């Protein structure tokens, strides 16, 4: 039978196994929190953990919906709440008020998680740097270990940990033996069997050892005044009375209470969210699926509201029970709810037995959990200079968590996260590529004389591709890289297409660059300004607002595209060498003035004139369109023509621009294939059109004609291919 009441059998077995893992941990975490107030409140703490496990298990999976995820009280929750209790006790808060303040902390944390989900905050929480999270969790593990060692040794409240460690005579040896038995059983259990959770084996061995010792020490078999066991688990009044009491307590909340617990609630909400999302990421890898982080955060918040309402402990999607759940066959989110039902059944049926659980056994379980939470592998970061700062971040968070508190560690983590971001930005250069005009050229095809000038003087101008974030952490390095170049280049074009953001420090850097270039009559140019349409800063608008570009700031030119900026610099280089831009009013060139046909003998030119036809094309009109059939080559007598490649959704890509004295359309003339792009007149144009069919008629009669024209054409095409090859090499440069 595959299904039972429309529930997968795998979900039943998975949830039962997950409950066996979550139950002892939940009891241990609850005891940890309440025993800070008074060791005699261990029974109330156990109920705190059990109610949390039941409420979270029932509600969170229904709302969150991540298949296989088990939500239960967890170590971060225990550490933060225990730390809060210790702080409240040290500040002289009455013991009677502390449970109410814990409930308020749980409520605020749950509401914050609901807000994270509604405001789509799941993606931001996942972006907290791993060293910060790692340090925080390692700090939590260390705090738990420090808190559990006295319980393992059975120390009285008046003895500190250090004093207890050096005074074996005050240890309660039955508790030590039970705790060590539990620890060793948990460590070696996976080597014997993986079908039964290690926590269950450890707890069972600890209980068995306790009663075995009880045969020799009879007072251990009495629950009265016995500090080595949890003791009776009882709640005042009915469940509904407990719920009503929780909400009635909200009317007694004061502003001072919010100040006392506000930071703890914030830290709790963030850490529970991180713990849940980290578990979900692992779960995605196992299931080959993808969770909805915002929905899951919302579900976790609702689950923790349910835990608050029932008087239970808040929690998160926990790794251990979740992995046991999935590996035991669970495939849907219903397994999480079934786990909550099994916890309720355990509370109803096993409460008398839970009262006999040894404190030492729970301490042993928590010490193993703490040991596994601490990232021992982080010490490997000390081996390499590049990773020592990451280790320093982890160590700083751990030290602050243990010496000051988890709230201070949260603030330290946030500050270090900012430092990590700045460090990563500084380590990755914002300068992606630097090339001169000897290495790249515009899409405006130049005549041979112009190319010679650009080849000779191309090192007067340079193009810089920038990337990432231009801010105070990266601009100094950029200026260092450019400082020498600003003395030798007259024109510098900054390609801003890959820039994500910039601040006023970067603006000041641009002003310095402009001043340096102006000293030798140079210019700073910008192109490819991000518009902010794809969630990026509108950099052009920002530069206009700070007065760097726009009205009154004409010294810095802004070009729409990189090609326009390069063409402008090429024109300046040509002008400095005595070249002048073609005048649109110039008379059309004759056949012998076309560069490709210069120096040909009169017989050849005369024959070409017979088979070539004059053509006038107004600005904006096509000479030919992509897909057209034709075998003509075109010589430009006046004007200029743009070659455009049509793309999807009406977009176009500018391939080249040909001007007076140049030619285009040679590929169809050579292979008679269909046109691969559009040729559009940029200005009014006068052209010569030479058909291959008509040319062939004359070439058959005059072999010299064909040899000379095709040799000139082959040479010109090879130069264009070499130029294209050089530009591709620059683009592929790594």
Structure tokens at 35: 């025993």
> Residue 686 pLDDT more than 90?
yes
Return the number of other C-beta atoms located less than 10 Å from residue 484's C-beta: 9
Are 24 and 362 in contact, with CB atoms under 8 Å apart? yes
Lowest-pLDDT choice from 109-118, 246-255, 345-354, 507-516: 246-255
> What is the residue-averaged pLDDT of the chain?
82
Tokens of 707: 């040899």
Lowest mean pLDDT among 119-133, 198-212, 335-349: 119-133
- The strand pairing partners of 4, in sequence order, are 7
List pLDDT tens digits, range 285-300. Answer: 667 777 888 899 999 9
What pLDDT score does 617 carry? 95
Predicted local distance difference test score (pLDDT) of residue 534: 47
Task: pLDDT band for 681, please (50, 70, 90 cuts).
Answer: very high
What is the pLDDT, as a whole number, of residue 319?
75
Please determine, for residue 635, whether its predicted confidence score (pLDDT) is greater than 90.
Answer: yes
- Which long-range contacts link 573-580 to residues 24+ away (Cβ below 8 Å)? 573/437, 573/453, 573/454, 573/457, 573/458, 573/460, 573/461, 574/450, 574/453, 574/454, 576/457, 576/460, 577/453, 577/457, 579/450, 579/453
Percent of the chain at pLDDT above 90?
19
**Considering only CA atoms, which of 619, 595, 617, 597 is closest in space to residue 608?**
597
Task: Give me the mean pLDDT over the 605-619 stretch.
Answer: 91
Kindly report, residue by residue over 435-484, the tens digit of the pLDDT. Answer: 888 888 888 888 888 888 988 988 999 999 988 888 777 787 888 888 88
CA-angle at 159, arms to 156 and 161, nearest 5°: 110
pLDDT interval class at 80 (50, 70, 90): confident
H or E segment to which residue 11 belongs: helix 9-35
Range among 131-135, 179-183, 552-556 with highest mean pLDDT value: 179-183
Beta-carbon contacts of residue 86 (< 8 Å; ≥ 6 apart)? 36
Each residue of 546-598: pLDDT tens digit? 888 876 555 788 888 888 899 999 999 998 888 776 665 678 999 988 988 88
Residue pair 293/53 in contact by the 8 Å Cβ criterion: no
CA distance 398 to 419: 17
- 343: its two tokens: 């916890």
Do the Cβ atoms of 50 and 30 come closer than 8 Å?
yes
For residue 229, give every residue at least 6 positions away whose Cβ sits within 8 Å of its Cβ, in sequence order, or none: 210, 223, 355, 356, 357, 358, 359
For the CA atoms of 528, 530, 533, 534, the dihedral, rounded to the nearest 10 degrees, stands at 100
Q: Is the pLDDT of residue 112 over 60?
A: yes
Beta bridge partners of 465: 433, 495
Residue 583: partners with Cβ closer than 8 Å, 6 or more residues away: none
Digit-coded pLDDT (tens) for 187-227: 888 888 777 767 778 888 988 998 999 888 888 888 777 77
In whole angstroms, how large is the CA radius of gyration of the chain?
A: 39
pLDDT of residue 2: 43
Nearest to 679 by CA among 628, 611, 723: 628
> Which stretch of DSSP H or E encloses residue 293?
helix 293-310
Query: Are the CB atoms for 48 and 388 separated by under 8 Å?
Result: no
Rounded CA separation 561/605 (Å): 40
Q: What is the DSSP letter of 675?
A: P
Highest mean pLDDT among 126-140, 468-482, 705-719: 705-719
Query: Residue 734 pLDDT > 60, yes or no?
Result: no
* pLDDT, tens digit, 9 for 90 and up, residues 224-279: 777 777 777 655 545 555 555 555 556 566 777 788 888 889 889 988 988 888 77
Residue 663: helix, strand or coil by DSSP? Answer: strand
Q: Which domains does the chain have, with CATH numbers?
A: 3-230+238-420 (no CATH), 428-576 (3.30.750.24), 591-732 (2.60.120.10)
Highest mean pLDDT, choosing among 293-297, 337-341, 621-625: 621-625
Alpha carbon dihedral 475, 481, 482, 485, in 10-degree steps, equals 180
- Among residues of the chain, what percentage have pLDDT more than 70? 88
Element (H, E) at 616: strand 612-617
Dihedral (Cα; 250, 256, 257, 259), 10-degree rounding: 130
Question: pLDDT for 496-549, tens place per residue?
Answer: 888 888 888 888 888 888 888 888 888 999 988 765 544 455 788 888 888 888
> Once rounded to an integer, what is the mean pLDDT over residues 78-103?
84
Claim: this prediction has a pTM higher than 0.85 = no
Of the candidates 348, 364, 349, the residue with the CA atom closest to the CA atom of residue 144? 364
Looking at residues 683-704, what average pLDDT do you find? Answer: 90
Distance (Å, whole) CA 550 – CA 645: 32
């Amino acid at each position: 039978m595959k299904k039972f009441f429309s529930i997968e059998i795998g979900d039943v077995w998975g949830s039962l196994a997950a409950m066996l893992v979550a139950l002892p941990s939940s009891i241990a975490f609850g005891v940890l929190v309440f025993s800070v107030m008074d060791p005699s409140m261990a029974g109330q703490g156990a109920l705190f953990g059990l109610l949390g496990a039941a409420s979270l298990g029932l509600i969170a999976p229904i709302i969150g919906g991540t298949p296989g995820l088990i939500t239960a009280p967890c170590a971060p929750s225990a550490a933060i709440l225990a730390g809060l209790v210790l702080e409240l006790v040290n500040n002289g808060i009455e013991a009677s008020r502390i449970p109410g303040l814990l409930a308020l902390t749980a409520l605020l944390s749950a509401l914050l998680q609901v807000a994270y989900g509604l405001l789509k905050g799941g993606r931001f929480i996942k972006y907290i740097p791993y060293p910060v999270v790692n340090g925080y969790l390692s700090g939590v593990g260390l705090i738990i270990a420090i808190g559990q060692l006295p319980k393992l040794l059975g120390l009285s409240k008046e003895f500190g940990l250090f004093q207890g460690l050096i005074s074996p005579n005050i240890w309660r040896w039955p508790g030590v033996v039970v705790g060590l038995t539990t620890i060793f059983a948990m460590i070696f259990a996976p080597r014997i069997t993986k079908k039964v959770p290690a926590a269950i084996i450890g707890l069972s061995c600890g209980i068995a050892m306790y009663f075995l010792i009880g045969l020799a020490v009879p007072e251990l078999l009495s629950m009265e005044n016995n500090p080595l066991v949890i003791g009776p688990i009882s709640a005042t009044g009915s469940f509904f009375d407990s719920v009503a009491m929780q909400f009635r307590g909200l009317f007694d909340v004061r502003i001072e209470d919010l100040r006392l617990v506000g930071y703890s609630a914030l830290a709790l909400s963030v850490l529970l969210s991180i713990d849940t999302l980290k578990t979900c990421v692992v779960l995605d890898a196992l299931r080959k699926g993808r969770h909805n982080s915002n929905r899951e955060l919302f579900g976790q918040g609702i689950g923790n509201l349910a835990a608050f309402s029932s008087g239970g402990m808040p929690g998160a999607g926990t790794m251990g029970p979740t992995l046991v759940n999935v590996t035991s066959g669970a495939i849907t989110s219903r397994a999480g709810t079934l786990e909550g039902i099994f916890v309720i059944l355990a509370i109803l049926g096993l409460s008398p037995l839970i009262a006999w659980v040894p404190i030492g056994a729970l301490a042993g379980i928590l010490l193993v959990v703490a040991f596994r939470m601490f990232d021992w592998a982080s010490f490997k970061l000390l081996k390499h200079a590049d990773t020592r700062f990451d280790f320093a971040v982890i160590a700083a968070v751990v030290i602050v968590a243990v010496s000051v508190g988890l709230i201070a560690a949260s603030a330290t983590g946030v500050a270090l996260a900012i430092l990590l971001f700045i460090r990563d930005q500084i380590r990755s250069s914002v300068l992606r590529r630097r090339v001169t005009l000897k290495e790249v050229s515009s899409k405006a095809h130049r005549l041979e004389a112009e190319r010679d000038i650009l080849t000779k003087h191309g090192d007067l101008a340079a193009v810089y591709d920038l990337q990432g974030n231009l801010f105070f952490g990266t601009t100094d390095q950029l200026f260092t890289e450019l400082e020498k170049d600003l003395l030798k280049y007259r024109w510098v074009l900054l390609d801003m297409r890959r820039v994500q953001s910039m601040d006023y420090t970067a603006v000041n850097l641009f002003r310095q660059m402009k001043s340096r270039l102006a000293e030798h009559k140079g210019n700073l140019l910008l192109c490819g300004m991000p518009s902010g349409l794809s969630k990026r800063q509108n950099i052009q608008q920002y530069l206009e607002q700070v007065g760097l570009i726009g009205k009154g700031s004409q010294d810095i030119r802004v070009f729409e595209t990189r090609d326009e900026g390069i063409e402008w610099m090429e024109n300046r280089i040509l002008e400095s060498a005595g070249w002048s831009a073609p005048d649109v009013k110039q008379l059309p060139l004759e056949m012998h003035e076309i560069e490709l046909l210069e120096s040909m003998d009169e017989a050849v030119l005369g024959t070409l004139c017979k088979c070539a036809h004059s053509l006038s094309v107004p600005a904006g009109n096509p000479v030919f369109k992509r897909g057209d059939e034709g075998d003509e080559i075109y010589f430009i007598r006046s004007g200029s023509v743009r070659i455009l490649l049509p793309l999807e959704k009406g977009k176009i890509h500018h391939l080249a621009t040909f001007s007076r004295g140049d030619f285009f359309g040679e590929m169809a003339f050579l292979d008679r294939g269909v046109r691969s792009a559009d040729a559009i007149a940029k200005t009014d144009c006068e052209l010569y059109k030479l058909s291959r069919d008509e040319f062939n008629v004359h070439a058959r009669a005059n072999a010299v004609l064909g040899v000379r024209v095709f040799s000139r054409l082959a040479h010109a095409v090879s130069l264009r291919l070499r130029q294209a090859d050089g530009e591709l090499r620059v683009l592929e440069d790594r």
